[in-house]
Amino acid sequence: MRIRAFRAGVADSVRNSLKELRRSAGAAGLGGVVLDVRGNPGGDVGEAVLIADTFVGEGVLVRTRGRGGQILREERATQAATDDATKVVVLQDHRSASASELLAIALQDHGRAKVVGERSYGKGTVQDVIGLDDGSVLTLTIARYFSPKDRLIDGVGVEPDVAVADMATQPEAALRAALTAL
């Protein structure tokens, strides 16, 4: 499944696609799914959390920490309709950022997915945008995102379990590596 950006409704689309894939697989069963977030710049963090919640039954999916490391918020998995049987691989590259990194690291930390590809971009900040009277805007970083195992994302990125070289020149090789990781 290719996820180009996290917009409203993408989590529902992923869940519906999973249902259709299971239906199509029939008695043979679904061998696994590749969530392809290559080049995904992020978007609605809530949608990434909903997708992670699809595959994780309990525990923290993402947390935000403010000044001094204080936990400001934790998003937790819910047991309802959790798919804990389907094998999952997240395919990422160096342009995968923000919400796509949150999805990858949540699934990786919970042991629900292998991450394949390159180290991701490393954008894990919560920002507040304030409009000014002259029409300009001021963007303030007010918190940072952390993984379920409390790993920092910002400036670090998500390290893949299976590294793939030359992804830009050989995108098919990256997909083959993801399928092999299933």
Q: Which residues are part of the catalytic machinery?
A: 98, 109, 123
Q: State the number of CA atoms in the 13 A half-sphere of 46 facing the CB.
A: 4
- For residues 40 and 96, is the Cβ–Cβ distance under 8 A? yes
- For residues 26 and 83, is the Cβ–Cβ distance under 8 A? no
- For residues 158 and 91, is the Cβ–Cβ distance under 8 A? no
Cα distances from 156 to residues 24, 66, 153, in angstroms, run 39, 17, 5
Distance CA 169, CA 165 (A): 9
Residue 166, exposed/middle/buried by CB under 10 A (0-12, 13-18, 19+)? Answer: exposed
Distance CA 4, CA 45 (A): 14
Residue identified by tokens 């029939």 is 26
